[in-house]
Amino acid sequence: MNKKLAGYAALFVGIALLPALGAYPVFVMKVLCYALFACAFNLLVGFTGLLSFGHAAFLGTAGYVCGHALKIWGLPTPVGLLLGMGGAAVVGLVFGLLAIRRSGIYFSMITLALAQMLYFFFLQAPFTGGEDGLQSVPRGSFLGLHLENDLTLYYVVLAIFIAAFWLIYRIVHSPFGQVLTSIRENEARATSLGYDTAHFKLLAFVLSAALAGLAGATKTLVLGFATLTDAIWTTSGLVILMTLVGGMGTLVGPMVGALVIISLENKIGDLGNWLGDITGVAWFNSLGESVSLVTGLIFIVCVLAFRRGLVGEAMALLERKQKPAA
């Protein structure tokens, strides 16, 4: 156990040192927000076994609520973040109550459809700014620290991430978390043992929604706006991909997945140009226009050959090494 905690500590210290090593703070913050989003999603899919295809609804709701609170109502930043989280939790409760009634693929379809409804609502509602989005959200200050400075904000965001990660860690390793895992493994058995599985599933759903909301609110804080992209169904697909690539059911997997996918989204144009230069094949230069194509290929490869994700495969490899032929 201590080795794991030491590992996590080292990881976070490493992240804290990134700006000093030349990393661009805003990019890392964006990755951290999506990593939190993926970790929250993983709580539901990796540990409880419920595939939600509408998680973007929580990201978007929190983003708009927080943005609105900070820009229009002029509330202090911590309050804005909490309101964002709260908004997402409420939406999570409503969605959860409807979706939990079904399981498996029906559950996923319901979450997808509900998220679509919310998306159309955001599209038409005046307070979201529609297609233009909610722009120029001020950063304000957090406990006396002025967040206009990218570096200050960086450490605040990192602190928020560590706190949320710690919360997820505690949930997973608690009796509650064990029940969730048992529901994932064999729900009928869990019910026969006397657990009200619907109650647990709903709670997991709301927690996952709230933490996804925290990610959305923080992202709005970092980037200064909330747009429809946060609530559209392809973003739900993106977080699934991040979790899949990183490793479902592992704690660190979603973080790795988020890093890979966000870097891909940002750098694919450059990657394409680099590939085009070294191979001389002109088509690579147009790779930048084909983000969705590459995303699709990654999905296919992961599902067919790489189901445990990067971290999952790494852990499996380590286990095999530690157990020489028994």
Partner 1 sequence: MKKTLIAATLAACGFSAQAQISGDVVKIGFLTDMSSVYADIDGAGGVEAIKMAIADLKGTAAGKKVEFIFADHQNKADVASAKAREWFDTQGVDMLVGGTNSGANLAMATVAAEKKKPFISIGAGSSALTNANCTPYTIHYAYDTVALANGTGGAVTKAGGKSWYFLTADYAFGAALQADTTAVVQKNGGTVKGSVKHPLNASDFSSFLLQAQGSGAQILGLANAGGDTINAVKAANEFGITKTMKLAGLLMFINDVHSLGLKTTEGMYLTDSWYWNQSPEARAWSRRFFEKMKRMPSSLQAADYSAVTHYLKAVDAAKTDDADKVVAKMKDTPIKDFYTTGTIRKEDGRGIHDMFLMQVKSAKESTEPWDYYKVVTRIPGEEAFTKLADSKCPLVKK
Partner 2 sequence: MTEIFGTPLPALLGQLLLGLVNGSFYAMLSLGLAVIFGMLNIINFAHGALYMMGAFFAWMGLEYLGLNYWFMLGLAPLAVGLVGIVIERTMLQWLYKLDHLYGLLLTFGITLVIEGVFRSFYGVSGQPYQVPDQLAGATNLGFMILPNYRGWVVVASLVVCFAVWALIEKTSLGAKLRAGTENPKLVQAFGINVPRMVTLTYAGGVALAAFAGVLAAPIIQVSALMGSNLIIVVFAVVVIGGMGSILGSILTGLGLGIIEGLTKASVLGAMFSAPFNAVLGEGNIISRALMAMFGPEGSSTVVFVIMAIVLLVRPAGLFGKEK
202: helix, strand or coil: helix
Q: Of 137, 115, 133, which Cα lies nearest the Cα of 125?
A: 133
Interface positions, 20-49, toward partner 2 (CB under 8 A): 45
Q: From CA 156, how far away is CA 150, in angstroms rounded? A: 10
C-beta separation of 38 from 192 below 8 A: no
Q: Is 275 in the site for partner 2 (CB under 8 A)?
A: no
Query: Which one of partner 2, partner 1, none interacts with residue 14, CB within 5 to 8 A by kind?
Result: none
- Encode burial over 191-205: b for 16+ CB neighbours within 10 A, e otherwise: eeeeeebeebbbbbb
Report how many residues bind partner 2 under the rule CB under 8 A: 40
Kindly tell me which of 293 and 316 has the beta carbon lying closer to partner 2.
Answer: 293
Query: Which one of partner 2, partner 1, none interacts with residue 325, CB within 5 to 8 A by kind?
Result: none
Q: From CA 198, how far away is CA 259, in angstroms rounded? A: 33
What residues contact residue 8 under an 8 Å CB cut-off, 6+ apart? 165, 169, 252
Q: Is 104 in the site for partner 2 (CB under 8 A)?
A: yes
Sole residue written with tokens 């957090």 = 142
Q: Is 73 in the site for partner 2 (CB under 8 A)?
A: no
Instruction: Kindly state the smallest distance separating residue 132's Cβ from partner 2, in Å.
Output: 19
Instruction: Kindly state the smallest distance separating residue 184's Cβ from partner 2, in Å.
Output: 10
Kindly tell me which of 135 and 279 has the beta carbon lying closer to partner 1.
Answer: 135
Interface positions, 109-128, toward partner 2 (CB under 8 A): 109-110, 112-114, 116-117, 120-121, 124
C-beta separation of 58 from 231 below 8 A: no
Q: Is 146 in the site for partner 2 (CB under 8 A)?
A: no
Kindly tell me which of 153 and 245 has the beta carbon lying closer to partner 2.
Answer: 245
Contact residues toward partner 1 (CB under 8 A) are 24, 26-27, 30, 120, 123-124, 126, 129-133, 135-136, 219, 223-225, 227-230, 265-266, 269, 288-292
Q: Is 101 in the site for partner 2 (CB under 8 A)?
A: yes
Instruction: Kindly state the smallest distance separating residue 131's Cβ from partner 1, in Å.
Output: 5
Tokens in use for 111?
Answer: 């979450």
Positive/negative CA dihedral, 241, 243, 244, 245: positive
